[in-house]
Amino acid sequence: MAETLLVTSTTKQEKYIDLIPQLKSLLENETDLIANLANTAAALRQTFGFFWVGFYVVKQNQLILAPFQGDIACTRIPFHKGVCGACYTQAKTIIVPDVEKFEGHIACSSLSKSEIVVPIIKNNEVVAVLDVDSDELDDFSEIDKKYLEEIVNILTLSF
């Protein structure tokens, strides 16, 4: 595809449905991991205007900051810390409607109010997580979970 996205829908679900085939063709034509993580973060930010969207990759026995869109963020997260750590250890998507109520949440920005973290699983191991933050409370639902899981599934091929 050309390096432009065409997403004209208005609801979140329709936006995901518009975005996913375009993103799929962009990612399937490139094998480089960093390029694909970078374009995925950009496409999600461009489509939904998320406050922060990016990846933490498993390296050196911890989660290390990888391509993202948004303000600068913490660079290293131990496996047992924060929402990202919980996502890693439980190997499942975690939705946090109010980050202040999640014990151990790591506040990279005081403006972040709710969050969803999705594991990227390859050969039964978590190899990275996708973290999306909102500056609004309760901004993520089962819709985000379903489609973000679909998106990270495509990314598994790049790892």
Query: How many whole angstroms separate alpha carbon 121 and alpha carbon 36?
Result: 16
Q: Please tell me whether residue 112 binds ligand SME under the rule CB under 6 A.
A: yes
The type of residue at 16 is: Y
Note whether 105 binds ligand SME by CB under 6 A: yes
Least distance to ligand SME, CB of residue 77, Å: 6
CB of 99 to ligand SME, least distance (A): 7
Q: Which of 69, 65, 70, 67 is nearest to 82 (CA)?
A: 65
| 13's tokens | 């679900």
52 lines the binding site for ligand SME (CB under 6 A): yes
Q: In what order do the strands lie in the sheet with 125-134?
A: 76-77, 62-69, 52-59, 125-134, 114-122, 94-96
Cα 37 to Cα 9, 104, 115, 131, 151: the distances in Å are 24, 26, 19, 12, 11
Q: Is 95 in the site for ligand SME (CB under 6 A)?
A: no
In the complex, what is the shortest distance from the CB of residue 118 to ligand SME, in angstroms, rounded to a whole number?
Answer: 12
Give me the 2-41 binding string for ligand SME, x by CB under 6 A, dash otherwise.
Answer: ----------------------------------------
Please report, as ranges, the residues that interact with ligand SME according to CB under 6 A.
52, 73-74, 77, 82-84, 105-106, 108, 112, 115, 131, 133
